Amino acid sequence: MTELTELTAVRLLDGYRKGEWSPVEATRAALERAEAIQPEVNAFVRLTAEDALERARESEERWRRGEPRGLLDGVPVTVKDILLLRGTPTLRGSRAVDPAGRWDEDAPSVARLREHGAVFLGKTTTPEYGWKGVTDSPLSGVTRNPWDPARTAGGSSGGSAAAVALGAGPLSLGTDGGGSVRIPASFCGIFALKPTYGRVPLYPASAFGTLAHVGPMTRDAADAALLMDVIGHPDSRDWSALAPPPGAYAEGLAGGVRGLRVAYSPSLGGQVAVRPAVATAVRRAVERLAELGAYVTETDPDLTDPVEAFHTLWFSGAARVTQHLGPRQREALDPGLREICARGARYSALEYLAAVDVRMDLGRRMGRFHDTYDLLVTPTLPITAFEAGTEVPKGSGHRRWTGWTPFTYPFNMTQQPAASVPVGADGDGLPIGLQLVAARHRDDLVLRAAHALYEAGVATAGRPTPSGS
């Protein structure tokens, strides 16, 4: 018997079309899996089972009539609890948000999913206001890794990554301001794309400004391309949204990598200490790209670590998002968030603009780099998942999460599309991610190359065993 929770969205839809299974069956299976994994992994803030089953029944009737609504009719999806989902509180991992709000509006990406008939299973966990690279918060506790619950799922879209990895819906919407879909994708062994800034509209606007992206978290690149064909269209509420893409991402996947110019940077010119297991797995995948016809050159972008400029932008955003809170509410914040907010509030306008200058120069240098190379390949992270409940690995010497994510946040500053692809596991069985980066607006190249790795059997971390199922 087919295990519905193990299927991609593409395969589920094919089964609906052929009458092999129904949206109700798929939704029930996903909800049962979500309930089974929740006690150990803690991927969800809330499940909306009754609403999900009602939408699934409506979808089933449309499929019975041969009149599916859009591209994702009946597919179970989850939504990170940063994005608005009509009828459901969006608490952003914080006790400072009142659950009794109106909650009568969808975020743009959520609205597109609703229009295409997707079935919402519930909201996934996030650190408070999505501020760090692991997922724990005073509101919802610690989200754990599907492969080893003693370790972190990563963040800030950790709940989404764990849900997808364990079969609680094949698709999830995450947000990424410094690596927040790619970090947990790498730690949990799934695919995630941070699209070009503006490709997926965002409303309300993030306090982290144009660092913040919305992106798909999926089982593979084909599902991500399908999801992008739904959510990657403008919305009048986002003044920075891009015009519609020139074509369907799903239709461009088959182009492969033959003839693409690929730059492989193992450590950003020696700036990053990468664990041997990670380095080996990524190099092996890059060699496969060459075998598939890509022209691979080992070289480094002109990229001096912009962490201080990123901190100025990020900490200022954190201060802004919490500016309205009173003293008692501030005292209840995640201590790390409270600390960076205090620092962010002290920056002057001139310091902020100096960080913008660093960002603009970095964008110019990466733009020139992509005049020569179609894709840049790096590890997604230099490490695999570490102990849950901490911001940084014990004994690492890092002060903040940016210390162990040097490959991710620079490409939020440049607004480039970047994806994490699973390319194996370390000696402890923990997933390893490879990062693909392209020039702005070339999301299609990132998806094509990732799909080629899946088709070649390189992009895999296996499947974790869900507890309680």
3-26 pLDDT, tens digit per residue, is 999 999 999 999 999 999 999 999
Answer for the pair 441, 232: CB distance below 8 angstroms, yes or no: no
Q: In this predicted structure, what is the pLDDT of residue 88?
A: 97
Quote the radius of gyration of the chain (alpha carbons, Å): 20
Per the domain annotation, does 463 fall within a domain?
no
Same-domain check for residues 210 and 329: no
Strand bridging mode 295-298 / 261-264 = parallel
Residue 369 CA to residue 385 CA, distance in Å, equals 31
- Whole-number pLDDT of residue 467: 66
Question: Do 251 and 180 belong together in one domain?
Answer: yes
pLDDT single digits (tens) 207-222: 999 999 999 999 999 9
- The pLDDT of residue 468 is above 90: no
Residue with tokens 């395969």: 11
d(CA 56, CA 398): 46
Both tokens assigned to 360 = 């603009």
Residue 197 pLDDT class (50, 70, 90 cuts): very high
Q: Average pLDDT, stretch 272-292?
A: 98
User: What CA–CA distance (Å, rounded) separates 337 from 445?
Assistant: 36
pLDDT tens-place string over residues 368-408: 999 999 999 999 999 999 999 999 999 999 999 999 999 99
Q: Which residue in the list 80, 123, 132, 194 is annotated as catalytic?
A: 80
- The percentage of residues in the chain with a pLDDT greater than 90, rounded to a whole number, is 97
Together in a domain, 171 and 239: yes
Relative to beta strand 141-142, strand 136-137 is antiparallel
pLDDT class of 146 with cuts at 50, 70, 90 = very high
pLDDT at 465 over 90: no
- Evaluate whether residue 202 is within a structural domain: yes
Q: Is residue 465 part of a domain?
A: no
Last residue of a domain, one of 294, 317, 337: 337
| pLDDT tens per residue across span 78-114 | 999 999 999 999 999 999 999 998 999 999 999 999 9
Owner of token pair 């005073």:
138
Residues 313 and 204 in one domain: no
Q: How many domains does the chain have?
A: 2
pLDDT of 469 higher than 60: no
Domain shared by 264 and 411, yes or no: yes
Q: Is the per-residue pLDDT at 315 higher than 90? A: yes
The answer to whether 142 and 187 are in contact (CB under 8 A) is no
How many C-beta atoms lie closer than 10 Å to residue 58's C-beta? 16
Q: Is 132 annotated as catalytic?
A: no
| CA separation for the pair 387, 378 (Å, rounded) | 24
- Which is it for strands 295-298 and 213-218: parallel, antiparallel or unpaired? unpaired
- What's the CA gap between 105 and 86, in Å, rounded? 5
Residue 362: what pLDDT? Answer: 98
Task: Name the average pLDDT for the chain.
Answer: 97
In angstroms, the CA 359 to CA 74 distance is: 41
pLDDT digits (tens, 9 = 90+) for 251-263: 999 999 999 999 9
Mean pLDDT computed over 193-202: 98
Same domain membership, residue 125 and residue 48: yes
Q: Are residues 125 and 47 in the same domain?
A: yes
Question: Is 444 a domain residue?
Answer: yes
Concerning whether 180 is annotated as a catalytic residue, the answer is yes
Residue 463 — very low, low, confident or very high, per pLDDT cuts 50/70/90? confident
Token couple for 25: 């069956």
317 and 231 in one domain? no
- How confident is the model at residue 462, as a pLDDT? 81
Indicate whether 468 belongs to any domain.
Answer: no
User: Active site residue: 157, 172, 180, 186, which one?
Assistant: 180
145 and 211 together in one domain: yes
DSSP codes of every residue in 210-258: GG-EEEEEESSHHHHHHHHHHH-S--TT-TTPPPPPSS-TGGGGGG-ST
Check whether residue 177 and residue 316 sit in a common domain. Answer: no
Confidence of residue 337 (pLDDT cuts 50, 70, 90): very high
Could you tell me if residue 461 is inside a domain?
no
> Where does 268-381 show beta strands of DSSP type E?
295-298, 375-379
210 domain-assigned: yes
The kind and range of the H/E element at 437 are strand 431-438
Query: Does 394 qualify as catalytic in the annotation?
Result: no
Domain that holds residue 433: 4-307+338-455
Among positive and negative, which fits the CA dihedral 249, 253, 259, 260? Answer: positive
* Catalytic, out of 140, 156, 160, 316: 156
Q: What confidence tens digit (pLDDT) does each residue in 29-48 have?
A: 999 999 999 999 999 999 99
Which of 337, 353, 383 corresponds to the end of one domain? 337
The reported pLDDT for the residue numbered 69 is: 96
Residue 467 domain-assigned (yes or no): no
Q: Calculate the dihedral angle through the C-alpha atoms of 385, 390, 391, 395, rounding to the nearest 10 degrees.
A: -80
Mean pLDDT of 401-429: 98
Q: To which residue do tokens 């009828």 refer? A: 87
d(CA 32, CA 427): 31
Q: State pLDDT tens for residues 59-78.
A: 999 999 999 999 999 999 99
Strand partners, 79: 123, 173
% of the chain surpassing 70 pLDDT: 99
Q: Which two tokens stand for residue 273?
A: 């200490």
Four-residue CA torsion sign, 381, 387, 389, 392: negative
| Residues 247 and 331 occupy one common structural domain | no
| CA–CA–CA angle 415, 420, 424 (5° rounding) | 165
Token pair of 450, please?
């990732």
Average pLDDT, integer, range 288-298: 98
CATH number of the domain that 107 lies in? 3.90.1300.10
Domain boundary, last residue among 337, 357, 384: 337
Instruction: Please tell me whether residues 214 and 353 are part of one structural domain.
Output: yes
Contact in structure between 222 and 8 (CB atoms under 8 Å)? yes
